[in-house]
């Protein structure tokens, strides 16, 4: 986290400083997030080397997950508020003293009275110059010493020139600058500028605060079980896999763990996108960063630190907050030459007007220096994309690269994987065939009695289909890996109704296999074959709505699967996809992607990240469902943390809104400068109005971007 930044020129300056440090290989500094990402060779450089270089440049580098960052931001906001309030109070008083000179008719205001009002205005302007303008002057002095330029330099020059000209007019009313003083204009544009910066700071903190809240979500300490059965309070960093911890209601889980005792509700909204609390009992897994809501839990730690899902999510959000989209990099590169052009334009305008009226010439230069602010241009892209990334994160979609928004907004084709993407990892019972002397409900209940003793996906599917109302029970159950389960099953009196059953493959059950594409499980008793259960992949409940929503947007939808053509066709028919292929290897999927791209198509790929690495990396934009693969190793641009396939549609909608907002911001910045700069050079824009325009231009860009943060709250469900 970089403290002391105010504009895109600051970001470029810090990048240049870092890249000059031996051993620093790459540096990215976000003007919107005030975060830096530095890649260095530990053989050549140490962190203290490049942190010292940042400090020498006049800024301060602190760890992004520093626990005191929030306190420093609060302190900075309080100081900014005090500077703004002092400027506002003095501005109102100075305006009151300036008012008589504006409305007085010739002869109404004596020279002594006018001079008294000027002296009073000068005294009231001193706190503004010495206190409120302090950061501008110190930053400008830093730039001059370092022989560089930032936005604060032209602003500080404008403030200094205005104060010096007005002071000269106050001390020497008969001199060349004695005709008029501009204390009211100075205090007014300082107040407007500080107001804009304070509001911008507050709005930026909403984004930075959300990321910081996630990063500092873990507790500092936790109760760990001792060998004697008592608990000791230890720092979270000392936790090791295998430790048993106690989590009270309202506390946060410090590590990925499995519940040993207790039954509670857990809030995982920030980590999975699941808005409703979920139940976690004995054997249930809890993830670091989630909240325990209802009762005391004892859990065994499985993963800590960087190995947790929470740490991977934080790393991805940090990476996204420092990446620079193409449009943002272009705007940043324009900012520094633009500032130099501003200084030259102000000097030329002053030289042009000097022969006619030196006082007016200096005030024209001030107006040019103040009004031409490149902040709106530099904030146009990152402000919008960071706001959109934050909104998607609240819906369970992590953005790995902000550039993905530009690509996502222009896609015309979506390619889905089948297993783990359109379908869940679990299975569901399709059809059931039974022997003549039994019903489907009876054999399903009998199979479920055996299935409840197995964790195999087929057993889970049969158990789910049977429900909990069955009276059948089983004992002497044995499970054979790769075969099935066997045991004695009965309903009511075990001495009268018990029978030995086998549930599993055809070979295990001693029956003849049916040659079909669907997965089948068999049930047999002493007489032989009893039932056949056809199991199907569990299609996600929102898959059909997602496909339909994409097709309504004019997007071609394809299904490519490594399973058989019949299995692919069955799932495609269920979700409404007409273009599908089965028996696809990873190379086949990559070939399809390249052919589509050669034909001018812009393709988004949605997969589970397991065997789709090449095609995810090669797509214009890609999605991966985060539960299927370690997040840090995923090749996707967007990671879906929950199970909602509609996240693809929401991301498409957000990307298109984001690009619209970016274009609006860029057009506003361009039009603002195209209109105001000529007016300032022509001497038609007073300094106070220039300050107001400067503050409002940056504020408007940030407010427009902030609409993206709130758009998700009112977005219609797909």
Q: Of 676, 706, 710, which is closest to residue 691 (Cα–Cα)?
A: 676
* Nearest CA-CA partner of 245 in 217, 215, 286, 216: 286
What are the two backbone dihedrals, phi and then psi, of residue 222, each rounded to the nearest 5 degrees? -150, 155
Q: What is the DSSP code (8-state) at residue 398?
A: E
Q: Classify 210 as helix, strand or coil.
A: helix
Task: Tell me if 158 sits within 8 A of 369, measured CB to CB.
Answer: yes
Take residue 391 and report the two structure tokens written for it.
């909104």
Rounded to 10 deg, the angle between the 111-127 and 183-215 helix axes is: 20
For residues 154 and 48, what is the distance between their CA atoms, to the nearest angstrom?
32
**How remote is the C-alpha of 373 from its chain's centroid?**
27
Evaluated on CA atoms 127, 128, 134, 135, the torsion sign reads positive
Q: Encoding tokens for residue 617?
A: 């990396």
> What value does the CA radius of gyration of the chain take, rounded to a whole number of Å?
34
DSSP classification of residue 62: -
Give the β-pairing of 484-491 and 499-504: antiparallel
Q: How far apart are CA 636 and CA 647, in angstroms?
A: 14
Pairing of strands 285-286, 256-261: antiparallel
Q: How far from chain centre, in Å, is Cα 376? A: 21
Catalytic residue list: 417
φ, ψ dihedrals at 184, nearest 5°: -65, -45
Element (H, E) at 560: strand 556-560
Query: Which residue, 376, 64, 25, 317, is CA-closest to 197?
Result: 376
């Amino acid at each position: 986290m970089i403290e002391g930044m105010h504009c895109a020129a600051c970001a470029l300056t810090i990048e240049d400083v870092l890249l000059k440090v031996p051993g620093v290989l790459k540096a990215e500094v976000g003007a919107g997030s005030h975060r830096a990402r530095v890649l260095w060779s530990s053989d050549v450089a140490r962190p203290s080397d490049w942190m010292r270089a940042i400090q020498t440049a006049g800024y301060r580098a602190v760890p992004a997950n520093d626990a005191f960052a929030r306190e420093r931001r609060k302190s900075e906001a309080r100081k900014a508020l005090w500077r703004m309030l002092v400027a506002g109070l003095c501005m109102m008083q100075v305006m009151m003293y300036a008012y008589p000179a504006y409305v007085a008719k010739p002869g109404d205001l004596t020279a002594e009275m006018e001079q008294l009002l000027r002296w009073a205005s000068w005294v009231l302007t001193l706190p503004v110059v010495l206190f409120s303008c302090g950061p501008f002057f110190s930053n400008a002095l830093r730039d001059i010493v370092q022989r560089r330029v930032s936005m604060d330099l032209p602003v500080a020059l404008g403030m200094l020139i205005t104060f010096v000209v007005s002071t000269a007019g106050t001390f020497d009313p008969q001199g060349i600058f004695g005709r008029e003083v501009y204390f009211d204009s100075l205090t007014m544009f300082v107040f407007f500028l500080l107001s804009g910066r304070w509001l911008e700071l507050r709005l930026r903190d909403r984004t930075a605060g959300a990321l910081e809240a996630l990063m500092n979500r873990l507790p500092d300490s936790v109760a760990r079980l001792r060998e004697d059965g008592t608990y000791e309070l230890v720092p979270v960093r000392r936790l090791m896999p295998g430790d048993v911890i106690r989590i009270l209601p309202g506390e946060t889980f410090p590590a990925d763990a499995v519940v040993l005792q207790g039954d509670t509700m857990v809030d995982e909204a920030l980590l999975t996108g699941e808005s409703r609390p979920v139940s976690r009992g004995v054997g249930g897994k809890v993830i670091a960063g989630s909240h325990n809501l209802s009762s005391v839990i004892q859990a065994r730690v499985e993963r800590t630190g960087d190995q947790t899902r929470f740490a991977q999510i934080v790393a991805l959000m940090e990476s996204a907050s420092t990446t620079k989209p193409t449009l943002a990099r272009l705007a940043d590169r324009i900012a520094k030459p633009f500032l130099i052009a501003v200084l030259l334009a102000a000097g030329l305008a002053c030289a042009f007007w000097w022969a006619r009226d030196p006082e007016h010439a200096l005030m024209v230069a001030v107006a040019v220096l103040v009004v031409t602010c490149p902040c709106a241009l530099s904030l146009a892209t990152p402000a919008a994309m960071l706001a959109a990334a934050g909104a998607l994160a609240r819906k369970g979609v992590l953005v790995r690269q902000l550039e993905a928004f530009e690509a996502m907004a222009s896609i015309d084709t979506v390619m889905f994987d089948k297993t783990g993407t359109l379908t869940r990892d679990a299975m569901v019972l399709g059809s059931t065939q039974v022997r003549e002397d039994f019903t489907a409900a009876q054999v399903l209940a009998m199979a479920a009695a055996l299935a409840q003793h197995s964790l195999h996906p087929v057993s889970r599917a049969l158990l789910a289909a049977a429900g909990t109302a069955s009276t059948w029970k089983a004992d002497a159950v044995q499970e054979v890996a790769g075969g099935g389960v066997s045991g004695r099953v009965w309903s009511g009196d075990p001495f009268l109704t018990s029978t030995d059953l086998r549930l599993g493959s055809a070979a295990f059950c001693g029956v003849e296999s049916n040659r079909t594409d669907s997965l089948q499980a068999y049930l047999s008793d002493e007489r032989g074959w009893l039932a056949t259960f056809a199991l199907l992949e569990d299609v996600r409940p929102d898959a059909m709505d997602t496909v339909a929503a994409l097709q309504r947007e004019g997007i071609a939808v394809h299904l490519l699967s490594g399973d058989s053509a019949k299995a692919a066709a069955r799932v495609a028919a269920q979700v409404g996809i007409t273009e599908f292929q089965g028996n696809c290897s990873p190379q086949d999927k990559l070939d399809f992607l390249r052919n589509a791209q050669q034909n001018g198509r812009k393709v988004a790929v949605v997969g589970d990240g397991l065997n789709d690495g090449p095609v995810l990396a090669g797509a214009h934009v890609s999605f991966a469902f985060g539960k299927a693969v370690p997040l840090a190793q995923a090749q996707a641009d967007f990671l879906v943390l929950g199970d909602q396939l509609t996240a693809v549609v929401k991301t498409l909608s957000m990307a298109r809104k984001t690009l619209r907002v970016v274009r609006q911001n860029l057009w506003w910045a361009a039009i603002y400068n195209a209109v105001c700069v000529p007016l300032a050079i022509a001497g038609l824009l007073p300094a106070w109005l220039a300050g107001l325009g400067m503050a409002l231009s940056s504020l408007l860009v940030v407010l427009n971007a902030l609409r993206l943060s709130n758009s998700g709250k009112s977005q219609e469900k797909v």
